[in-house]
Chain A
Amino acid sequence: MKTVKSILIAYLFIHFTFVLMVNLMALSKFSDATERLNSFGYAFVKCIEKPEFINKMEASIGLYVNLTGVNRGYEFFSPNVYRGSVKLIFESDQGQRLDLFQSVESKMKFLTFSLYFNSNLKDKKRRDELLKSVCLRLFSKDEDLDEVHVYADIQLFDEIQYSFKDTYIEDKGKLLLTKIKKSYHETSSI
């Protein structure tokens, strides 16, 4: 009994050390955008910026934290929230809206994809890779589909302190991101 308890206590300590490290690593990534932090946050992130020993440990704890599902930090919607919405829209060349998923949960997952996509919106290479992959699947699902147009429907919001009822939403409208043709999976990015 004593041995079992000792093993479990040691395990508990190791597990939560790893959880702590994962979260510190996640927080240290905010150092890329310090203008988004308040003065306390700035000082804190500077303190934990690039902790070499944690970076080195990342690879060694990677498998464990992945298997236990604690590999992503818990900084949900932190430190700030994006001040707008970017909805990805897929349309055929006839202008018909293409729904990617059927179930509510899959649509939620698509939102996760969209958030990831938005954060890489300026990385044209990655952006096109992702869109091309989605379109390839759309082509294989619908043989009559020849071309897919991908739009980003962008809305930005003013800060509440500076908002006026009729003008707080800045509607940028549908921005054409790319047109992908079926024949050669050609991409003409905008």
Chain B
Amino acid sequence: MKQVASKISDFLFNFNVKNADLISKLIIGFALLNIIVLLPDVYDLYSLDGYIQSELNDKYMYAYNPLLNWVLTPLDNLGFSNKMGLLMIIGMYIFSLFFVMIRYKPFIFSIVAWLIHVMIVNSSYYFSYGADYFITFSLFANVILHLDVILKDKKVIAALHSFVIRFMQIQLCFVYFFAGFGKMIGHDWLDGNAMWYVMNTHSPEFIQNLMPSMIDFPFILTGICWSVLFIELFYPLIVYIDKIKHAALISIVLMHVGIMFIMGLYTFGMIMILLNYIAFGHYFESFQWKRRKFKSSITPAPST
């Protein structure tokens, strides 16, 4: 029993994180990029009188879900218009991300950025999808990561950083397992029709033009479906098995690249690749190290 507890503790707290700052910068950089891309439509998406008016959106929210309304209404009472209030909140979000990026009061501003993002997502329920929720999760993980500024003991900080990476790894295992499990209990992912429908519906025109020829080779689509099913369902196992973990990680990244270009889900694909890189990117550091070692072993020794 003691051995198991020690192994769990070792797994969670003794992982050597060399690049905590880079991890934070990647998360923050992605959130910044995401909001900058959305800026032209920010008013239509998030304002109280945007495409989906707040009364309609808030109807499906619990009273405790943080909403932009919580800030916009008091600002309105202070004489700031809805538009000005929204610009102030979005500005605050961008500045908070920027301050975290330059490590100015990173703990406080990572909390501010995370909470504003939660409000933004909740206030656009009908427009929010997987990518938004994964950004929320990443910003939350970033807050835990920045707890290091209030800790003094270097050992505790190292343990905390290790914990955050393991936390993200386990989260990804849950994500992929349930994504695979959900597909496994239907029909379409087992007989190949899922890819057939998805590619006919979401893919760019040049791929859609190729779809009729797929009718003669349905096994290709069935093969893709089964591969997706296998990778997702067994991700929690294969990503930890030494001999296949690199292949597992490359496969999952390729799957997301496919999602980006076939379905046009660029933000979703990128955030998932980023999360995989943060959680398991260190696999490729050791891979590079082994390659260098292998190269040096086959380089002939200089003749004397």
Task: Find out whether the CB atom of A79 lies under 8 angstroms from the CB atom of B185.
Answer: yes
Determine the distance from Cα of A45 to Cα of B182 in the docked complex, in whole angstroms: 11
- Classify chain A: how many residues form its interface, as a range: 35 or more
Task: Find out whether the CB atom of A76 lies under 8 angstroms from the CB atom of B188.
Answer: no
Q: Are A27 and B192 CB-contacts (below 8 A) given A8-B163, A103-B40, A108-B265? A: no
Task: Find out whether the CB atom of B197 lies under 8 angstroms from the CB atom of A81.
Answer: yes
Secondary structure of the B contact surface, majority rule: helix
Task: Find out whether the CB atom of A73 lies under 8 angstroms from the CB atom of B178.
Answer: yes
Task: Find out whether the CB atom of A109 lies under 8 angstroms from the CB atom of B124.
Answer: yes
B226 at the interface (CB under 8 A from A): no
B86 at the interface (CB under 8 A from A): no
Q: Are A105 and B183 CB-contacts (below 8 A) given A62-B62, A72-B133, A168-B215? A: no
| A166 neighbours in B (Cβ, 8 Å) | 212
Determine the distance from Cα of A5 to Cα of B267 in the docked complex, in whole angstroms: 34
B247 at the interface (CB under 8 A from A): no
Q: Which of A32-40, A49-57, A142-150 contacts B (4 or more CB under 8 A)?
A: A32-40
Instruction: Write out, one digit per residue, whether chain B residues 183-222 have a CB within 8 A of any chain A CB (1) or not (0).
Output: 1111111111110111011100000000011110010010
Task: Find out whether the CB atom of B51 lies under 8 angstroms from the CB atom of A78.
Answer: no
Q: Are A159 and B266 CB-contacts (below 8 A) given A20-B174, A74-B178, A81-B188? A: no
- Classify chain B: how many residues form its interface, as a range: 35 or more
Task: Find out whether the CB atom of A160 lies under 8 angstroms from the CB atom of B65.
Answer: no
A184 at the interface (CB under 8 A from B): no
Determine the distance from Cα of A100 to Cα of B190 in the docked complex, in whole angstroms: 37
Given contacts A41-B186, A116-B126, 7 further A-B contacts (CB under 8 A): A4-B156, A9-B12, A19-B171, A40-B185, A69-B133, A79-B184, A161-B193
Q: Hey, which bits of chain A sit against chain B, CB under 8 A?
A: 1, 4-5, 8-9, 12, 15-16, 19-20, 23, 26-27, 30, 36-38, 40-42, 44-45, 59, 62-63, 66-85, 100-106, 108-113, 116, 129-130, 133-134, 136-137, 140, 155, 157, 159-161, 163-166, 168-169
Q: Hey, which bits of chain B sit against chain A, CB under 8 A?
A: 8-9, 12-13, 34, 37-41, 44-45, 49-53, 56, 62, 64-66, 118, 121-122, 124, 126-130, 132-137, 139-140, 153, 155-156, 159-160, 163, 167, 170-171, 174-176, 178-179, 181-194, 196-198, 200-202, 212-215, 218, 221, 264-267
